[in-house]
Structure 1
Amino acid sequence: MADASRSLGTGVNEVIRNLRKAGALLANEVGVNLKKAGLFLQGKSQEIVPVDLGPLKNSAFTRAEGKGFKTDVRVGYTMEYAPYVHEDLEARHKPGKTAKFLENPMRWNRDKILKIIAGVKLKKYRKRFTRTVGFSKGLR
């Protein structure tokens, strides 16, 4: 099997190198968007988390570790009783407050969360990508 870079000439190596650079730029933005999606979920969760005195709601957190496509985002609550409140479907809560206060907002807002994560603005990279990679139409 022939090596594509040899078959197409030395310009292919430059194109591949520039694609990797463009990928790094996109990866960074995806990492930022993952954190934004986590904060969005946290906000939606806090709207429906049951409140007695407030410590549970106030213990909400969003943490992001890693970079780019390898960003790991965690959304949760630090109060030790949070899992019990989350899973107790028999408990009575004030109107608008409910168990499954993390799971439900994730399900209800799935499309919005995915749009936030995928919200990379490709037009922002069009000029740079077209110039460095050499595609005539670039990204739309």
Structure 2
Amino acid sequence: MPRYRLTVNTTAVRRELRAAAARGLLLAAEHVLGESTAVVPLDEAALSRSGTVSVDEPTLTAAISYDTPYAIKQHEELNFQHAPGRTAKYLEGPLNASTAQVRDIVAAQLRRAMR
């Protein structure tokens, strides 16, 4: 009966899977940013244009942020009046609504890396 030997370089596998997970996080965060941009309060579009995404690969953490002096206040103040379709909680709402898509995007990148 023939014998076969399989050697797996687990270090390389882990490195590739971590990179795929980071890529998935970046794509997923960009998806959430796109959804958020559609509902961010809009006056002169400075808040909308300030949206950005970053990923920290060592901790596999993604961040979506808006960088204006009033971004937090616009997000948290529920009593502000906004144009139709625009809202407070412009990041929290889309993030909560996109959990399935975020999961699917990250999973797709991990599957691609395992081919």
Which has the larger share of helix?
Answer: 1
- Stretches of structure 2 lacking an aligned partner (at least 5 in a row): none
How far is the alpha carbon of 1:49 from its aligned partner? 0.2
Alignment partners' CA distance in 2, 1:52 and 1:104: 20
In 2 relative to 1, CA 88–124 (structure 1 residues): closer, same or farther, beyond 3 Å?
A: closer
Gaps of 5+ in 1: 1-10, 127-140
Identity %: 27
Letter in 1 for 2:105: I
Question: Where does structure 1 differ by over 6 angstroms across 4 or more consecutive aligned residues?
Answer: none
Larger relative CO (CA 8 A, sep 6+): 1 or 2? Answer: 2
Residue 73 of structure 1 aligns to a residue whose secondary structure is: strand
Matched to 1:104, the amino acid is G
State the one-letter code of the partner of 2:68.
M
Normalization by structure 1: what TM-score?
Answer: 0.70
Compare CA radii of gyration and give the structure with the larger one: 1
> Matches of residues 72-83 of structure 1 in structure 2 within 5 Å?
72-83=61-72
Number of residues paired by the alignment?
111
Take 2:61 and 2:112, find their aligned partners in 1: how far apart are those partners?
26
Q: TM-score, normalised by structure 2?
A: 0.84
